[in-house]
Structure 1
Amino acid sequence: MLIQAEIRSIDLRNASEAEYAALSDFANTLRAEILPDDPPVPLEERRRSWQSIPPVVEVPTWALWEGGRVVATASAEVLKLEENKHAMSFDVRVLPEFRRRGIARRLLAQVLETARRHQRRLLIANTSGRIPAGEAFMERLGAERGLETHTNQLELAHLDRELVRRWQEEARARALGYRLELVEGPYPEADYPAIADLVNVMNTAPRDRLEVEDFTMTPELLRHQERSAFASGGWRWSYFARDPGGRLAGYTEVYGHPNRPQVIHQGATGVRPEHRGAGLGRWLKAAMLERILQRQPHARFVRTGNADSNGPMLKINYELGFKPYISSVVWQVPADKVAGYLGEAAPG
């Protein structure tokens, strides 16, 4: 029976061509379940992405095979950082026709062993509202909803261009002495320390019930992230707001890939607390949308992820015309509770 099939470990950075091809086919099948209107991700793009995983991340991965086909996977993400040494993210995925056969349970045992080996007592996972089986699995584990979020989508054909123009004019009038700077691709070498410090403003974003600590961005981590993001052929634009003294006050970023020109992803948008109230967030978002309209003629949608509790950012996005597209939940569950679900005794 398939439930007795062998689970094999895979090194994502150094997998074989057959493993990469099978993993890519598996990932695209599940991707179509969540994003049925989007094209699949080409094998070469996925290979480059897996091969460029930053060295500060360990990603032990397991696959269950049926012949030459992967039918289920699990992975853990162990961050080798000073913060959040108590926590570990994980992912368990099973093809629709193989669900409810005990496969996820078997793969979860590999995740738990990894958590114990790295002394991680809290496990964190994401589920999509478009795959109800994932949510049901986390509920069976006894996991807690730590953060509820949505991918919100803007149809560019419906964007109010007059609003975009007005927001920029109003911000220039209110934020006297501030200016915006555009960076395409990698950041200027001299700016890495200041940008890393600015990115830490994202620690003010809602975390709701998630038991996680602030994350400290450093220039080294920023470089790792960039190398990984650009290795697969993607692009990124960043707008920065500088205050009258030249200090970085806020930023926004978007990214995309030539393989999917119709979709652009809005990444982080953040303004330092002491600079809020001058319309910088609206200015940054509006300037970026205007640039997308001018320079990305094939783009149809802009998508962004927001915590459902992030009222200020949701207000801006909804005014621009973003609408809920996909719901998701970030779950947390103690490793000991996972052990109980698997029928294992907690380590003595």
Structure 2
Amino acid sequence: MTHFDIVPVDPSDPSLVESWLAAQEAVHEHDFQGLRPFNPHQVLVGLVVHDPDSRREHWAAVCDGQVLGYLGIALHDRDNTHLAGFQLGVHPASRRRGIGSALLRHAEERALEDGRTSLTSWVDLPSEHSPDVRGDGGPFLIAKGYQRSLEGALRVCELAAVDDDALDRLWDESWKRAEGFELTVYHGVPNQRIIEGVAYLHARMYTDMPRGDWDLQEAAITADTVRAWERQRLQRGVLNIQAAVIHKESGDVAGLTEIHVQAGDERHCLQGDTIVDPRYRGHRLGTILKIANQRRLCSMRPWMRYVWTGNAVANTHMIAINESVGYRLAGANAVFQKKLGSPSA
């Protein structure tokens, strides 16, 4: 067994940060080829930009100045304070030496020290749709007492391959079902007219989407939360392109969607929340939102090539909308969860 120390990643230690970053890049290149590329800029910015919702901890397993493995922990403070999230990886050249087990024990100890009762991680998995994905943390976590709690699927939209004529027809057909609604597109902080409704719908994401056995509970999201998110995105260099539909008679925000364009990546971007208020479903609003925001992305970032999204496998309605606007299946992931009593052996 290799001797190593688990230490916090100090942003002021350039050699540690460089080795920590290199370990993450090596894991991605070895394990997750064919999925959304590793973005070093966002990893580095995450060391110094405060998360308004969670305390983020960054740890490294270090031997002789070299990072052999890494661990990120999110201790949620805004809501779901029973829950902690984590991501860990071990450099491909340093595996089967007990490093992953030690990092996982450290995550559990930190979660217990902070009074958390559930520890969870989203893990990308091999699948027939992502033949170059070799990493599979699932069996490791199952052996440590974790349960596979929610099945997910990854999809990608190659923007240049989208059939614009078919999208035009879908757009026209959808608006025939959406009389009494209007569309607004924007980026950054929503205006005062809609920000409360936007916050309400973001909160509903926690309860409306399929959650399987994932111990995710209601969210406490207000207009101030939305403003804080946008401040953080500005600090991280993330452009949040958004669309919302408004019910004209009531003024309610009936639905929203968003796409995150991260600094340091001008080819791949990430779909954020999409939701339609249950009171206004059945009007093709989700389809309208997706088409509108996808086209706004193309107008603002014409060199962008791919949009990535993830859905619970059980979310068949949203998956059908995504596939209708050009997404194809590209991989699999899952939530692994452990109810904490004592750290792993």
**Which digits, 9 at most, give the CA deviation of each residue in 1:162-200, with x for residues without a partner?**
222122222322211211101122333564333211212
Report SS of the residue matched to 1:138. Answer: helix
The yes-or-no answer on 1:254 pairing with 2:252 is: no
Offset of residue 321 of structure 1: 2.9
Please name the residue that 2:302 is paired with: 297
Mean Cα displacement is larger for which, 168-177 or 204-213? 168-177
**Which digits, 9 at most, give the CA deviation of each residue in 1:245-275, with x for residues without a partner?**
2221101111213532121221111000010
Structure 1 stretches lacking a partner, 5+ long: 343-348
Tell me if the contact between 1:46 and 1:232 (Cα under 8 Å) persists in the aligned partners: no
Tell me if the contact between 1:164 and 1:287 (Cα under 8 Å) persists in the aligned partners: no
Please name the residue that 2:231 is paired with: 227
**Which digits, 9 at most, give the CA deviation of each residue in 1:195-230, with x for residues without a partner?**
211212312011011122122212232223222222
Tell me how far apart the structure 2 counterparts of residues 30 and 301 of structure 1 sit (CA, whole Å).
22
The yes-or-no answer on 1:192 pairing with 2:188 is: no
Identity level (%): 25
**Which digits, 9 at most, give the CA deviation of each residue in 1:34-74, with x for residues without a partner?**
2457665345x533232113244112332112333311012
The yes-or-no answer on 1:317 pairing with 2:322 is: yes
Residues 171/80 of structure 1: CA separation in 2 closer, same or farther (3 Å cut): same
The yes-or-no answer on 1:52 pairing with 2:49 is: yes
Paired letter, 1:73: Y
Please name the residue that 1:31 is paired with: 28
Residues 281/257 of structure 1: CA separation in 2 closer, same or farther (3 Å cut): same
Paired letter, 2:9: I
Report SS of the residue matched to 1:261. Answer: coil
Please name the residue that 2:118 is paired with: 122
Name the TM-score, length of structure 1 as normaliser: 0.88
Tell me how far apart the structure 2 counterparts of residues 94 and 22 of structure 1 sit (CA, whole Å).
12
Please name the residue that 2:175 is paired with: 172
Report SS of the residue matched to 1:298. Answer: coil
Tell me how far apart the structure 2 counterparts of residues 9 and 158 of structure 1 sit (CA, whole Å).
44
Paired letter, 2:147: E
Residues 37/312 of structure 1: CA separation in 2 closer, same or farther (3 Å cut): closer
Paired letter, 1:205: M
Paired letter, 1:135: G
Q: Please show how residues 96-245 of structure 1 align to structure 2 within 5 Å.
A: 96-129=92-125, 130-188=133-191, 191-202=194-205, 203-245=207-249
Tell me how far apart the structure 2 counterparts of residues 295 and 56 of structure 1 sit (CA, whole Å).
29
Mean Cα displacement is larger for which, 219-228 or 139-148? 219-228
Tell me how far apart the structure 1 counterparts of residues 35 and 109 of structure 2 sit (CA, whole Å).
37
Please name the residue that 2:62 is paired with: 65
Report SS of the residue matched to 2:104. Answer: helix
Report SS of the residue matched to 1:4. Answer: coil
Residues 200/110 of structure 1: CA separation in 2 closer, same or farther (3 Å cut): same
Tell me how far apart the structure 2 counterparts of residues 171 and 39 of structure 1 sit (CA, whole Å).
34
Residues 206/300 of structure 1: CA separation in 2 closer, same or farther (3 Å cut): same
Please name the residue that 1:345 is paired with: none
Residues 128/38 of structure 1: CA separation in 2 closer, same or farther (3 Å cut): closer
Tell me how far apart the structure 1 counterparts of residues 255 and 36 of structure 2 sit (CA, whole Å).
32
Tell me if the contact between 2:124 and 2:136 (Cα under 8 Å) persists in the aligned partners: no
Offset of residue 152 of structure 1: 0.3
Larger relative helix fraction: 1
Tell me how far apart the structure 1 counterparts of residues 154 and 333 of structure 2 sit (CA, whole Å).
8
Residues 86/49 of structure 1: CA separation in 2 closer, same or farther (3 Å cut): closer
Instruction: Give the aligned length.
Output: 335
Offset of residue 153 of structure 1: 0.8
Tell me how far apart the structure 2 counterparts of residues 46 and 87 of structure 1 sit (CA, whole Å).
22
Tell me if the contact between 2:24 and 2:89 (Cα under 8 Å) persists in the aligned partners: no
Tell me how far apart the structure 2 counterparts of residues 206 and 5 of structure 1 sit (CA, whole Å).
40
Please name the residue that 1:275 is paired with: 280
Paired letter, 2:324: E
Offset of residue 307 of structure 1: 0.7
Tell me how far apart the structure 1 counterparts of residues 161 and 140 of structure 2 sit (CA, whole Å).
38
The yes-or-no answer on 1:264 pairing with 2:269 is: yes
Tell me how far apart the structure 2 counterparts of residues 37 and 198 of structure 1 sit (CA, whole Å).
29
Tell me if the contact between 2:247 and 2:253 (Cα under 8 Å) persists in the aligned partners: yes
